Structure 1
């Protein structure tokens, strides 16, 4: 698989399985404990932009271990009966296969793991660097957004990279999976109205970010 290889073992992923953590929150938000959780909206046609790939490029510049990344891929993503050989992460209802490689290349881990070029737009499901500085989570059925748990600094970098499409969320809060679950037209951030979105403010001196909605107490 070129630079993406099966992980040596499952130890690199053990930190994800924190005692008492809900499996559904894990696959949608990553592990609890980060300073900030943000949701990044997919555009209507993500094949042209590939938001997860672009996010990993930004995130790779905010870790001390950009060449040592880890990725978890759901073993049943493409319906093949025989998944590739790799260590497994035993998440309830979402058994994952573990691979490793440079962070910027891990976007292609699902397709490369099964030796396919089709399905390249299926994103990896959990990605994190060896230093555990952040975690990207994209649940199998996500159509609207994906999540990054990180520091304030990394969240600001993402808000700058994706103006108008990044919102701060509470860990584990409910969010629709499918576009047809949303009754009103989606705005650019994947929400029903700008009043419901809390946009991250950009650092001073950075322009082109989203307007900040009023944060509820």
Structure 2
């Protein structure tokens, strides 16, 4: 539960995303389907699985149980199948990694690193896939309420009223990439944690599906079909992501495949 106001502004001018529309590749190809191929280096952040107790389970822990290999092209579908003679006792996870959603503590850790590698951390663009079921009607505008309504009969005083309501999402121009349509927001990098469904007294976070700073020094993608978040940027940024203990990240190349059946090492 939260009544923290959003720091995001819904954008009706989608021209800041024109560079992505010009540089994105075909969806079934490789990392360049998710991010522009212009960056010096790339990383892939692996979304954790869930334990029976609701705790995050890193892929390396899954690999220890299944006897499979961790490598840059690892895919959870292949990793989760026990190798011959492995997989004794109960598995450490019972739910696979979330697709299209980066675990909020990891998103926070990611943004802390990203902030050190842009000159415009206070001016970033965030794209949200317009197919999420919770943004299908006008009530979805609550994602942008500057303050949340208090429905208690005795509610009164400053800040208890709705200060501003965004237009319904179906009225907003889209960022149109080859495989997805998005609504776009602008705000400080820290507002990555503000995106999500807001109802009176509740907030259900949703990590951005695509975001970048105004200076385009890096770009991050969490596509709805994948259980990994991809980042492209300067080599120093990627080195930090790979070494951050709060993130389980592997280095990738822009030509690396991204589909779940592409793990050749753990295939057999």
Question: How does the TM-score come out when normalised to structure 2?
Answer: 0.57
1:97 aligns with 2:183: yes
Query: Once superposed, what is the RMSD of the aligned Cα atoms?
Result: 3.3
Residues matched between the structures, number = 181
Counterpart check, 1:70 vs 2:125: yes
* Alignment match, 2:21: 17
Q: Find the counterpart in structure 1 of residue 38 from structure 2.
A: 33
User: 1:13 deviation in Å?
Assistant: 0.7
Q: Deviations over 1:170-212 (max 9, x none)?
A: 21422345xxx6999xxxxxx959xxxxxxxxxxxxxxxxxxx
Q: Larger Rg: 1 or 2? A: 2
Q: Deviations over 1:97-151 (max 9, x none)?
A: 0001011112332335x8894541x3211010000000000101222x2100011
After superposition, the Cα gap between the structure-2 partners of 1:16 and 1:110, relative to the gap in structure 1 and judged at 3 Å, is farther
Pick closer, same or farther for the CA change 1:119–1:140 going to 2, 3 Å.
Answer: farther
Deviations 1:70-100 (A, max 9, x none): 0111001135433625431012331110001
Correspondence 1:124 to 2:208: yes
CA–CA distance in 2 between the matches of 1:100 and 1:156? 27
Task: Could you tell me which runs of 5 or more consecutive residues in structure 1 were left unpaired when the two chains were aligned.
Answer: 185-190, 194-217
Could you say which residue in structure 2 is the equivalent of 1:170? Answer: 253
**Structure 2, unpaired ranges of 5+:** 51-55, 57-101, 138-167
User: Which residue of the partner structure matches residue 219 of structure 2?
Assistant: 135
> What residue number does 2:10 align with?
6
* SS of match in other structure, 1:111: strand
Matched-pair contact (CA < 8 Å) for 2:32–2:254: no
TM (norm. structure 1) is 0.69
> Which runs of structure 2 are paired with 1:143-162 in the superposition (5 Å)?
143=227, 145-162=228-245
Tell me the equivalent position of 1:197: none
